[in-house]
Structure 1
């Protein structure tokens, strides 16, 4: 008698929609993480590279103020600050005793707010008679240049 051979076979494997969805969801999440990390790295590079130019802007401004060259110092002010003072008014204000005779930059901080870089520079001003005081210079970026903004004294 002929025995009938049974062929055993596995049932066809079905890819379950749930697993595929998890795979694609995980892949999408991974790509988002890579994008966030890239954006954070870009932000750090922008801030790191800005530290030198911000310090240089504050140094030049304070050097001109201490030297009495208020016209050149005025040119380093942002639009908002120039709108608050005229060239003559700024010069008179800076020359009001006790005048700034020296300075020391003690800290430079650069950050972004809503994607816009801004900075603060902490300085120790030395005035006529030797008195010193700590101040913070707000600095913003306008037209690709860093400018002193707000009330620096």
Structure 2
């Protein structure tokens, strides 16, 4: 009869596929955490900017409706002030039909090119009973927010 063979431990199999999948899953998880963190940061920037954008637009139209065109002019961005002199802006704002009141309808803030930019929809009431809706751009400048572009 045959000789009895002694027991021996089976050879340990290496599983390179399992290790590769584990590394891939950990890498993907790290990327997802990074993307989620970036999304949360972006949302915070946009949501925190909503209040200051509304306040800037509100202050601008409050000054315009009160006839204080000098203060309204100071709320304009550098680019818009470069197109209008303070005197020219004041004359333009006093041209009938003048703004007699306003209502902020919507405020939105989005990032474009990595910079936040606000858009405010305003219903403008004019002397004589007319009203119209306008979009107002509000941009960050010099540590605050400024009205930019043609508000009327």
> TM-score range with shorter-chain normalisation?
over 0.9
- The DSSP-based 3-state class of the residue aligned with 1:6 is coil
C-alpha separation in 1, matches of 2:26 and 2:9: 34
Q: Can you give the 5+ residue segments of structure 1 that lack an aligned partner in the other structure?
A: none
Q: Residue 9 of structure 1 corresponds to which residue in structure 2?
A: 9
| Higher mean C-alpha displacement, 18-27 vs 80-89 | 18-27
C-alpha separation in 2, matches of 1:12 and 1:31: 31
- The DSSP-based 3-state class of the residue aligned with 2:128 is helix
Q: Residue 42 of structure 1 corresponds to which residue in structure 2?
A: 41
Q: Residue 147 of structure 2 corresponds to which residue in structure 1?
A: 148
Note the C-alpha offset of 1:20.
2.2
Note the C-alpha offset of 1:96.
1.0
- Relative to the length of structure 2, the TM-score reads 0.94
C-alpha separation in 2, matches of 1:27 and 1:5: 45
Q: Residue 70 of structure 1 corresponds to which residue in structure 2?
A: 69
C-alpha separation in 1, matches of 2:20 and 2:74: 59
How do 1:1-150 and structure 2 match up within 5 A?
Answer: 6-16=6-16, 18-150=17-149
- The DSSP-based 3-state class of the residue aligned with 1:43 is helix
Q: Can you give the 5+ residue segments of structure 2 that lack an aligned partner in the other structure?
A: none
- The DSSP-based 3-state class of the residue aligned with 1:71 is helix
C-alpha separation in 1, matches of 2:5 and 2:29: 50
Note the C-alpha offset of 1:5.
5.1
C-alpha separation in 1, matches of 2:143 and 2:38: 21
How many residues align? The count is 151
- Relative to the length of structure 1, the TM-score reads 0.93
Could you list the per-position Cα deviations for residues 79-110 of structure 1 after superposition, in whole angstroms to 9, with x for gaps in the alignment?
11011101011111111111001000000011
Instruction: Could you list the structure 1 runs, at least 4 aligned residues long, displaced by more than 4 angstroms after superposition.
Output: none
